[in-house]
C-alpha cells in the first residue's frame, strides 16, 4: 500500500485517536470551564476551577465531572480528524509550488481547517454545554435566594420546559438524546447549529493562530531540516501553541458558551446574537467577564493539542494501516 493511498485514512485515524485520548484526560477541566463561563455577576456558585470540581464531586459524584463526555467522545473523532486532516490538506495545496509556506499561507490553511471543523463542532458543543451546565443550574436552584424554575428555552421559539430542581436525579435525567430530539422537533436541524456564527468566531481565529505557531515551534526542535523533531518536542510545541491560541480566543468562547446555553437560571437573561451578547456582558459584568474560564481553557487545550500532535507526529494511523492483515500477507 503506497503512502499516498494510506495518507487520508491514516490522518483520520490519527485525529480520532488523538481526540479520544485527549478528551478523556482533560474533560473535567472542560466541564469547569463551561460552568465558570456561564456564571453571572452576583450569582456565583463556584469560586474557581478547583472549587467547581470539588463541589461537582460532592453533589454529583466522580462521574459528574464527565457529564457530556459521551457526546464529546462520540463526535470528537470526526471533529479532530477533520481539523487536523483539513489543515494538512490546505498546507499541501498551498505549498504545491515547492517553495514552502509563508506565514500568511499557513494562516490561510488554519482558517480553512477551522471552517471545516464547525460542521461537527457546533452540534457537539451545543449538546455538551447543556449536559455540563445542568449541575450548575441545579446548585443555583437550591440556593435560597434563587428559587425561580429553570427552563429549557430558545429565543423566539417555544421548547418544552425542563425543571432542574430535583438535585442529582434531575441532573442525571438530562440526556443528549432528549435535548437533540427537542431541538430537532421544534427547530429542525438548524436547532443543533445554534451559535454557529459564534463557533466560527472562536474556531477560525484559534486555528489561524494555533497551526502556524505550532509549525514554527515544532521546527525549532529539528536537528536537520529533513529530520522529524522528537515526540516530546512535538508535545511541548502543541501545548505551547494551544495555550496561547486558547487564551487569545477566550472572549469568543465565552460568547459562544452563553449563546449555546439553552437553560437559564433565575434572573439570567437571554441574548439575541453575538453583538447583543458581547454588549450585555460588557455592560453588566465588565471586561474581565470575557476572561472567565481562561485558565481552565488553557489547561484544557494545552495537553489536548499536545497529545493530538504527538499521536499525529508518531503516525499511529500509518502504523495501524501498515500492519493490517491485508498488507502483512501481500508482501
pLDDT given at position 88: 82
pLDDT per residue as tens, the chain (331 positions): 333 444 667 777 877 788 788 888 889 999 999 999 988 877 788 889 999 999 999 988 988 899 888 888 888 778 877 887 788 888 888 886 666 788 888 899 999 999 998 999 999 999 999 888 888 878 777 655 444 444 444 444 444 444 333 445 555 556 788 888 988 999 898 888 998 999 999 999 999 999 899 989 988 988 777 777 888 898 899 899 999 999 999 999 999 999 998 877 667 778 889 999 999 999 999 999 999 999 999 998 888 888 877 777 777 777 777 754 444 333 3
Q: Is residue 288 part of a domain?
A: yes
Q: Is residue 223 part of a domain?
A: yes
Dist. CA 77–CA 69, nearest whole Å: 13
Q: Is residue 151 part of a domain?
A: no
- Those residues whose C-beta lies under 8 Å from the C-beta of residue 217, and which sit 6 or more positions away, are 236, 237, 240, 241
Q: Which domain holds residue 93?
A: 8-138+174-321
Residue 324 DSSP label: S
Reference 15, options 90, 79, 105; nearest CA is 79
Instruction: Give burial (CB, 10 Å; 0-12/13-18/19+) of 224.
Output: exposed
pLDDT given at position 321: 76
pLDDT given at position 55: 92
Q: Is residue 160 part of a domain?
A: no
| Exposed e or buried b per residue across 245-283, where buried means at least 16 C-beta atoms within 10 angstroms of its C-beta | bbbbbbbbbbbbbbbbbbbbbbebebbeebeebbebbee
- Those residues whose C-beta lies under 8 Å from the C-beta of residue 104, and which sit 6 or more positions away, are none
- Those residues whose C-beta lies under 8 Å from the C-beta of residue 318, and which sit 6 or more positions away, are 3, 6, 10, 14
pLDDT given at position 142: 67
Phi/psi of residue 263, nearest 5 degrees? -95, 140
pTM, 2 dp = 0.78
pLDDT given at position 310: 78
- Specify the 3-state DSSP secondary structure of 323: coil
pLDDT given at position 57: 93
Q: Is residue 97 part of a domain?
A: yes
Dist. CA 63–CA 132, nearest whole Å: 12
Cβ–Cβ under 8 Å, residues 311 and 14: yes
Q: Is residue 156 part of a domain?
A: no
Q: Is residue 162 part of a domain?
A: no
Dist. CA 155–CA 309, nearest whole Å: 39
pLDDT given at position 136: 82
Q: Is residue 147 part of a domain?
A: no
CATH, residue 266: 1.50.40.10
Q: How many domains are there within the chain?
A: 1
Q: What is the gyration radius of the CA atoms in the chain, in angstroms?
A: 21
Amino acid at each position: 500500500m503506497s503512502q499516498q493511498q494510506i495518507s487520508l485514512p491514516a490522518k483520520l485515524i490519527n485525529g480520532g485517536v488523538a481526540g479520544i485520548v485527549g478528551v478523556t484526560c482533560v474533560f473535567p477541566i472542560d466541564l469547569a470551564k463551561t460552568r465558570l463561563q456561564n456564571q453571572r455577576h452576583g450569582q456565583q456558585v463556584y469560586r474557581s476551577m478547583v472549587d467547581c470540581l470539588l463541589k461537582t464531586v460532592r453533589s454529583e459524584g466522580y462521574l459528574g465531572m464527565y457529564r457530556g463526555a459521551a457526546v464529546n467522545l462520540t463526535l470528537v473523532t470526526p471533529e479532530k480528524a477533520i481539523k487536523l486532516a483539513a489543515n494538512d490538506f490546505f498546507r499541501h495545496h498551498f505549498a504545491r509550488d515547492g517553495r514552502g509556506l509563508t506565514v500568511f499561507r499557513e494562516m490561510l490553511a488554519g482558517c480553512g481547517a477551522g471552517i471545516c471543523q464547525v460542521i461537527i463542532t457546533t452540534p457537539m458543543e451545543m449538546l455538551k454545554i447543556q449536559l455540563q451546565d445542568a449541575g450548575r443550574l441545579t446548585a443555583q436552584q437550591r440556593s435560597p435566594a434563587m428559587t425561580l424554575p429553570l427552563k429549557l428555552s430558545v429565543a423566539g421559539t417555544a421548547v418544552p420546559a425542563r425543571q432542574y430542581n430535583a438535585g442529582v436525579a434531575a441532573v442525571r435525567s438530562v440526556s443528549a438524546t432528549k435535548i437533540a430530539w427537542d431541538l430537532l422537533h421544534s427547530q429542525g436541524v438548524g436547532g443543533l447549529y445554534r451559535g454557529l456564527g459564534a463557533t466560527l468566531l472562536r474556531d477560525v481565529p484559534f486555528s489561524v493562530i494555533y497551526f502556524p505557531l505550532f509549525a514554527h515551534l515544532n521546527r525549532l526542535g529539528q536537528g536537520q531540516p529533513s529530520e522529524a523533531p522528537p515526540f516530546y518536542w512535538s508535545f511541548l510545541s502543541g501545548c505551547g501553541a494551544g495555550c496561547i491560541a486558547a487564551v487569545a480566543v477566550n472572549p469568543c468562547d465565552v460568547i459562544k458558551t452563553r449563546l449555546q446555553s439553552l437553560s437559564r437560571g433565575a434572573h439570567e437573561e437571554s441574548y439575541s446574537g453575538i453583538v447583543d451578547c458581547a454588549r450585555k456582558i460588557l455592560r453588566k459584568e465588565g471586561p474581565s467577564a470575557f476572561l472567565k474560564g481562561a485558565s481552565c481553557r488553557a489547561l484544557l487545550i494545552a495537553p489536548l493539542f499536545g497529545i493530538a500532535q504527538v499521536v499525529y507526529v508518531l503516525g499511529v494511523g500509518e502504523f495501524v494501516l501498515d500492519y493490517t492483515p491485508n498488507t502483512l500477507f501481500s508482501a
